[in-house]
Chains A and B, each alone.
Chain A
Amino acid sequence: MNLATSIIGIAAYLILAPLAGGLLAGIDRKISARMQGRFGPPVLQPFYDFFKLLEKEPITVNKVQDFYVMCFLIFIVITGCFFFAGGDLLLIIFTLTLASIFLVVAAFSSNSPYAQIGAERELLQMMAYEPMVLIMAVGFYLVNGSFNISDIVTSPVMAIQYLPGIFLGFVFILTIKLRKSPFDLSMSHHAHQELVKGLTTEFSGKTMAVIEIAHWYENIFLLGFVYLFFANALAWSPVLAVVVCLATYFLEILIDNNYARMKWQIAINASWIVAITLGFVNLLILYFIS
């Protein structure tokens, strides 16, 4: 991929990702409501929420927390830019981890017990999904001989043919990353209130708005990983990939509405077992047939 397409990719991501992410969140809420037999909010509701949060009086526990939350947004956006510029998969995974750490540090810095439990659970969640994400990167390398996203999307083979197990494993941990039940331990968009609001308890007004928009940016490139499994040099593959992305998101909504929250032990055990059985075995098979 040359410089021009990289720049177009970054610009499109910067402008379109929040719009698409917000819209996706709105559709999510609408579908969830319909699944529960309710009418549901307007599709543009997440944007109303976002602008409302900007209008509220700013209350912060301490100034440093806003700094960390801002860093969270910036590193999420940088991660997405690397992704849509066709950058290195490993670099993307590491900046994503760094971004998540900033959110955890922001929650810790508020000293609120609820936010701290939320932050601890967020760390546990990261422990849960991180192995699978790394296995995914290795899988792409074994198939394409490169960690570069620009090489993966232009390769002659479709990664899903060689990585079905890793794909399923990734969809599994996507539930954690998208903060859906049963693994929305650290914070959630629903009224589970045993932690008040977990990670985001102490963030209000503009700070909360920054977190919302960061999540929209994040969700878009998380679906981008799903896209990678299907995109290749064939002309029709991007269409298939986008359809699979939407289907995956629908599946996550379905799971979200069908499960209650589980304990963190189950979250870690389940995601590690999935990473080992689906992910690692897939890697082994790939290693022996190649």
Chain B
Amino acid sequence: MSYVTKSPWIIHYDGSSCNGCDIEVLACLTPMYDVERFGIINTGNPKHADIFLVTGSVNEQNINVVKQIYEQMPEPKVVVAIGICATSGGIFKECYNVMGGIDTVIPVDVYVPGCAARPEAIIDGVVKGLGVLAEKRAAMDQKPAAPAEAEEKEEA
């Protein structure tokens, strides 16, 4: 059994969200919803995180930030797009600086639509993400040789 699903640590990034979805994400941590009962911790550090929650769409300014956070997270990792903005660009889709949903930059595993996405829906999305996390962890076990080789090459 994989322990990843029992202790998913989250990093939350606000793309160009209107803050509506952000407040709902933070509401999940309050006594009302208390996601810590699933072992979920809101960490500020991508290197400790397992699940990347993104709210809001990607624009020209934050595209590199989103990419960097994603790249700094160690495998296995899952990306959850919160809100319709993060899913497709939503109400901001037509803006001249908006590229669209998060999946235009990094691979997204779970989409949580809604404007704003409700805390229940966000928790649901994260729990769905846990399934993906377990699959990715199992995949890591099956082909552990490939990344190791790549690392050695880099060093040489």
Contacts and interface: CB of A to CB of B under 8 A. Distances in A.
Given A45-B7, A197-B44, A201-B45, A33 B140 contact: no
Interface in A199-217: 200-205, 208
A289 to B, nearest CB: 50
A41 B9 CA distance: 13
A193 to B, nearest CB: 3
Contacts of A59: 47, 72, 74
B44 A33 contact: no
A197 B140 contact: no
Contacts of B7: 45, 48-49, 51-52
Contact of B3 (A48, A58, A201, A203): A48
A49 B39 contact: yes
A38 B6 contact: no
B44 A193 contact: yes
Nearest to A61: B47
Q: Is the interface of A mostly helix, strand, loop or mixed?
A: loop
A191 B44 contact: yes
B72 to A, nearest CB: 8
Contacts of B121: none
- B31, B36, B43 — which one has the most chain A CB atoms within 10 A of its CB? B36
A49 B42 CA distance: 13
Interface residues of A, number: 31
Interface string A23-50: 0000001000100111111100100110
A197 B43 contact: yes
B48 interface: yes
Contact of B37 (A40, A48, A55, A200): A40
A33 B36 contact: yes
Interface in B89-133: none
A196 interface: yes
Contact of B6 (A52, A197, A203, A208): A52
Contact of A48 (B34, B39, B47, B72): B39
Q: Tell me which of A37, A49, A55, A205 has the highest count of chain B C-beta atoms within 10 A of its own C-beta.
A: A55
A203 B72 CA distance: 12
A196 B76 CA distance: 21
Contacts of B50: 52, 56
Nearest to A193: B44
B47 A202 contact: yes
B145 to A, nearest CB: 14
A197 B48 CA distance: 9
A39 B43 contact: no
Given A57-B140, A202-B47, 8 more contacts: A41-B37, A45-B7, A51-B7, A52-B7, A55-B3, A58-B74, A197-B43, A203-B47
Interface of A: 29, 33, 36-42, 45, 48-49, 51-52, 54-59, 191, 193, 196-197, 200-205, 208
5 nearest interchain CB pairs?
A193-B44, A204-B47, A57-B75, A51-B3, A48-B6
14 contacts: A33-B34, A40-B37, A41-B37, A41-B39, A45-B39, A49-B7, A55-B2, A56-B4, A56-B74, A56-B76, A57-B140, A191-B41, A191-B42, A204-B48
